[in-house]
Structure 1
């Protein structure tokens, strides 16, 4: 048996468990589970992204942003983390930075959801400018 393979599998299993907890809105338990996974494998960008999602569920935006930053630092091609980062930035009103993150996501994967989210920022900026 390859111990590294088992090591990764344990982190992957914990990641899956954390995602299931997030789907049940059990964000505190999910965060604990993601932290356990990170203790096993701290270079797994998906776990950092999912950890950030749990932190968003707990309204801990600054920590969530740091976790998204870690995810994209580990894998700059991880479009989902760029999208989630943009979504968080838009929610806190950092529209310029949100657009930059959406642009990175779109450059990697032109998912219609990403395109719509970026267009929504433009609409919000227009509404604020008109107010």
Structure 2
């Protein structure tokens, strides 16, 4: 078994970034920007363009702006991503799904920078837009994680609970709920939460290790060892796949 210690919460954010954003572009047509004259990693270009022209909300393609932000995320330009998602939220219809998605993504970008206070604010804005939409469970789950990182453990559990109430089929929400319950010593409830996440398809080494720890705390040592062995096997498989991909080259 692994030592509890000051372990990091291996958190699965579940915000659903698509891996399909392979091309980086700055060409929302409504902005009338010549991409050949724009440095795509200039962190101020979008803000400058929008501020300079005082663009009307109807003249901005928010979807294209969101894709720019996601492209920044793909190349780990998180500061630029926060600015771009803020612009998307500004020009989206208030309380729309687009606005909510922009706020959620902005929070994720801040979390990547470990700016958890800003992430908390962004997730709260997302929930202010709509507390029951398709993005609300993700916002609640991510807010719970940011609050935990910020030291607000009790409130983190409240939002983890709310996430599973909104979408009981969201495995990342169950995983986080299990983690926060375990942190409070409620290991039996934590195991049940982990099992829900596993039943919903979230099977990886991280969640199995957390379940093994909770089982160990409950004194169920034999089952804990079995779960830990499965976690070790999955981690070894993942490491072997990484080695094989590296050896295969591009």
TM over 0.5, shorter chain? yes
Deviation sequence 1:72-106 (CA, Å, 0-9, x none): 00100010010011111122222111111111111
Q: Which has the higher contact order (CA 8 A, sep 6+)?
A: 1
Q: Does 1:95 align with 2:187?
A: yes
Q: Secondary structure at the match of 1:76?
A: coil
Which residue of 206, 209, 227 corresponds with 1:116? 209
Q: Does 1:22 align with 2:126?
A: no
Distance 1:111 1:46 in 2: 19
TM-score where L is the length of structure 2: 0.46
Give the drift of 1:28.
1.1
Q: Secondary structure at the match of 1:15?
A: helix
Distance 1:110 1:47 in 2: 19
Give the drift of 1:110.
4.5
Superposed CA RMSD: 1.9
Q: Does 1:72 align with 2:164?
A: yes
Q: How many residues align?
A: 124
Distance 1:124 1:97 in 2: 12
**Contact 2:187–2:214, Cα closer than 8 Å, also in 1:** yes
What 5-or-longer segments of structure 1 have no aligned partner? none
Distance 1:84 1:126 in 2: 22
TM-score where L is the length of structure 1: 0.85
Q: Secondary structure at the match of 1:80?
A: helix
Distance 1:77 1:125 in 2: 26
The answer to which structure has the higher helix fraction is 1
